[in-house]
């Protein structure tokens, strides 16, 4: 694999600054400011910002700078529904021909989840990371690289690993039960998974900030 281009480097560094809160949602910056910060010319910075605008992270306003976009409740709901749809499609596509492999996957994830729940329940970041890997692994079973990439992009837009309110009181107990049910339902088939997924999605929408 070749060395990343300047545009790719600028994209990765700006996205990281957005995701780690250095440029919080609703803040404004500019090509010039970013170029100075990254020690790059405006050309790769502009190209990176254009890609980030297409992906919904920023809005480039001529003569006004670059706005880091906030996530409206409607936008969040849409992205969560897209993720849920991909997870349901994955189970439907793999089942029933791949029922045995789904059952093995479910057992493995159930064991990992029980170990996580037996540990530090206050480690909300670990639970969010487990959710991400759970959904990512399930979607990957379709062997569709575009779908996997789309999931990772949507999760990034949602700041998935930083959004952990559902793992805090008073929602944590319900969320833990819903994730456990989601894992078990994946091996039971699309109908069972759909029901478990609907409950889980409802909690995600209710608690996302």
Per-residue pLDDT band for 28 (boundaries 50, 70, 90) equals very high
pLDDT confidence of residue 54: 77
State yes or no: pLDDT of 1 exceeds 60. Answer: no
Looking at domain 6-68, which of 1.10.10.10, 1.10.4080.10, 3.40.140.10, 3.40.220.10 is its CATH number? 1.10.10.10
C-alpha span between 205 and 202 (Å, rounded): 5
Q: Is the pLDDT of residue 91 over 90?
A: yes
Listed in sequence order, the residues at least 6 apart from 194 whose beta carbon sits closer than 8 Å to its beta carbon are 88
Residue identified by tokens 């059952």 is: 103
User: Measured between alpha carbons, how far is residue 117 from residues 12, 21, 41, 167, 174 in Å?
Assistant: 33, 28, 48, 11, 13
| Residue 71: band (very low, low, confident or very high) from pLDDT cuts 50, 70, 90 | low
Q: CB count, 10 Å around CB of 209? A: 11
Domain definitions of the chain by residue range = 6-68, 73-207
Mean pLDDT of the chain: 91
| Segment 118-147 mean pLDDT | 95
Long-range own/partner contacts, residues 102-110 (CB < 8 A, 24 or more apart): 102/141, 102/186, 102/187, 103/187, 105/137, 105/138, 105/141, 105/186, 105/187, 106/183, 106/184, 106/186, 106/187, 107/187, 109/134, 109/137, 109/183, 110/180, 110/183, 110/184
Q: How confident is the model at residue 153 (pLDDT cuts 50, 70, 90)?
A: confident
Question: How confident is the model over 52-60, as a mean pLDDT?
Answer: 83
Q: Which pLDDT belongs to residue 8?
A: 94
| Rg for the chain, CA atoms, rounded | 19
C-alpha span between 104 and 50 (Å, rounded): 43
Instruction: Kindly report, residue by residue over 155-196, the tens digit of the pLDDT.
Output: 988 889 989 999 999 999 999 999 999 999 999 999 999 999
Q: How far is CA 176 from the centre of its chain?
A: 18
Q: Which CATH code, of 1.10.10, 2.60.40, 1.20.120, 1.10.3470, is assigned to 73-207?
A: 1.20.120
Q: What is the pLDDT of residue 104?
A: 95
The better pLDDT of the pair 32, 72 is held by 32
pLDDT tens figures, 105-118: 999 999 999 999 99
The mean pLDDT value for 65-77 works out to: 77
């Amino acid at each position: 694999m070749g060395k990343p281009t300047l545009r790719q480097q600028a994209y990765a560094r700006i996205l990281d600054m957005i995701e780690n809160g250095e440029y919080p949602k609703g803040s404004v910056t500019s090509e010039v400011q970013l170029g100075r910060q990254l020690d790059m010319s405006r050309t790769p910075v502009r190209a990176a910002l254009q890609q980030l605008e297409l992906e919904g992270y920023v809005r480039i306003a001529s003569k006004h700078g670059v706005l880091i976009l906030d996530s409206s409740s409607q936008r969040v709901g849409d992205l969560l529904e897209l993720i849920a749809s991909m997870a349901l499609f994955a189970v439907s596509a793999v089942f029933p021909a791949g029922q045995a492999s789904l059952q093995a996957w479910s057992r493995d994830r159930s064991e990992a989840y029980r170990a996580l729940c037996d540990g530090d329940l206050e480690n909300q970041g670990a639970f969010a990371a487990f959710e991400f890997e759970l959904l990512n692994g399930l979607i990957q079973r379709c062997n569709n690289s575009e779908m996997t990439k789309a999931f990772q992009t949507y999760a990034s837009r949602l700041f998935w690993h930083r959004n952990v309110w559902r793992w805090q009181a008073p929602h944590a107990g319900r969320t833990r039960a819903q994730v456990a049910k989601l894992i078990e339902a994946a091996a039971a088939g699309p109908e069972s998974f759909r029901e478990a997924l609907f409950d889980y999605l409802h909690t995600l929408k209710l608690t996302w900030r």
